[in-house]
Every structure is written in structure tokens, then in C-alpha cells.
Amino acid sequence: MEKKNRLILALDVTDRENALRIANEVSDYVDSIKVGYPLVLGEGLSIVKELVEIAPVIADFKVADIPNTDRLICEHVFNAGAAGIITHGFTGRDSLDSCVKVANEFGTDVYVVTEMSHPGGVEFFRPVAEDIASMAVEAGASGVVAPATRPERVKDIRKIIGEELSIISPGVGAQGGSAADVIRAGADWVIVGRSIYNSDSPAEAAKKICDEMNC
Ligand code: U5P
């Protein structure tokens, strides 16, 4: 993903019309659009084909299954035109390897969740986040997902993954995190949803976050 604005839009609206309107409004300010279950279950995977005309798409399906099922999911997502996919890591190295293999065939990116951004994200993830980050490096993932709600954890995870892998970081705005703080802590991109798509002016909201990050 080309680093221009350091902002990824989490497009968790559930209908096509709003999705396309918001995506078009903020396209100057975002490097990518993240879609997940809310939008894809609402409108089908074909929405990805439409959104890639506006910006590169990352599919946040937090893939977490056996290697064969993971492979099938990744193939669908990349055939639809997504430039990247978010996977879990707790399912183990063989499952992650399967996703990375498909991504390499398509020339796309795999981002692995390390520790989630919501309060419950510390309950089970905290003790394994570093191990998952190391595994992401060893498996040849493109990057990891780490919490903007805990910039100190982004710092810890950056130390483990080094400079080659990217950190994409959700939790800014609605979840309480600060874009500037988490970029300072070592994130490459922030992922922002509600603060942008629920705003009366998504473009202004996106611009404000970009300004905070000096991009
Ligand atoms: N997301 C998180 N935290 C994680 C991993 C993913 O918030 O640890 C996703 C959410 O599913 C949502 C987006 O799509 O990032 C954040 O949205 P918002 O809180 O900015 O509305």
C-alpha cells in the first residue's frame, strides 16, 4: 500500500449507496478502504469490485480457520479485487502460511491481528500478541494490526517486527485513541471508521485526522 495519507477508512456502513458516497467523498484523504462483514454481508462481495475503482481495498475478515478454508476465503477475496486481507494469527502458523501463499500468488498483502483495540482485546490476546507478531514476521506477512487505544503496545510490537512490516492501527476516535499518538508510537497507518462515516462531513473528518498526523 502506498503511504501517502496514513489513513485507512473502515467502511462499516451496511448499504451500497452510503458506502459508495462516503468512499467517493473521502477518496483524497485515504490510502485504502477497509471493508468487513457489516458491508459485505449487507451487499455481497461485489461491493469490493466497485470500491477498488475508488481506492485499494483491504478485506477485514479476520480469517481464522484451517489452512484449506483460509485458502478458499483468500482466493475469493483477492479474485474480487482486494489488495489485502486481515487474518488472525492464533490459529497457528500453517493457517497463516496458507493465507500468505495465496497473497503471494496474487501480489497482495496479509495483515495479522496481534492485540485487538477494544477493552476485551487484552483478555486473551495480551499474553500472545508478541508471539503472533513474531510469527507474522517469520511467515512473511506484510504487516500486523495493533491497537491505537494502547500506543505503548504499538511500540512493543514495533520492536518485535522491526521496520520491514507495516503496522495498521484501529481504535482512533470512537474507541478513544489518538491518530497522532499512535503514529508517534510507530504505526504506519491508522484505521478510522465511525469518526468519519458518522460525521456530517466525512471528507472534513478525514482531513482533520490527516492534519493531526501532518500528512
Ligand atoms: N478493528 C478494530 N480493532 C481491532 C481490529 C479491527 O476496531 O483490534 C476494526 C473494527 O472492526 C472496525 C474498525 O472496522 O477497525 C474500527 O472502527 P471505528 O472504531 O473507528 O468505528
Has 172 been labeled as part of a binding site? yes
* Helices 151-161 and 129-139, axial angle in degrees (round to 10): 40
Q: What's the pLDDT tens digit per position in 5-64?
A: 999 999 999 999 999 999 999 999 999 999 999 999 999 999 999 999 999 999 999 999
Helix (H) or strand (E) run with residue 91 in it: none
- Assess whether pLDDT exceeds 90 at residue 68: yes
Domain boundaries, the chain: 7-214
Has 193 been labeled as part of a binding site? yes
Strand-pairing partners, residue 113, are: 145
Grid cell listed for 153: 503496545
Q: Which atom of ligand 1 is nearest to the CA of 174?
A: 19
- Share of residues in the chain with pLDDT > 90 (%): 98
Report pLDDT for 52.
Answer: 98
Strand-pairing partners, residue 191, are: 8, 170
Report pLDDT for 1.
Answer: 87
Which member of 62, 101, 207, 208 is catalytic? 62
Please tell me the CATH superfamily of domain 7-214, with its number: Aldolase class I (3.20.20.70)
97 lines ligand 1 (CB under 6 A): no
Write down the pTM of the prediction.
0.98
Q: Which atom of ligand 1 is nearest to the CA of 146?
A: 8
Report pLDDT for 215.
Answer: 53
168 lines ligand 1 (CB under 6 A): no
Chain-centroid distance, C-alpha 24: 19
User: What mean pLDDT is predicted for residues 99-121?
Assistant: 98
> What is the ipTM score, two decimals?
0.99
d(CA 88, CA 109): 14
Residue 92 Ramachandran class (φ > 0 left, ψ -120 to 50 alpha, else beta): left
The closest residue, in CA terms, to atom 6 on ligand 1 is 170
Report pLDDT for 145.
Answer: 98
Report pLDDT for 7.
Answer: 98
Q: Which atom of ligand 1 is nearest to the CA of 38?
A: 14
Burial classification of residue 191, based on how many CB atoms lie within 10 Å of its CB (0-12 exposed, 13-18 middle, 19 or more buried):
buried
| 3 is known as an active-site residue | no
**CB distance 195 to 158 below 8 Å:** no
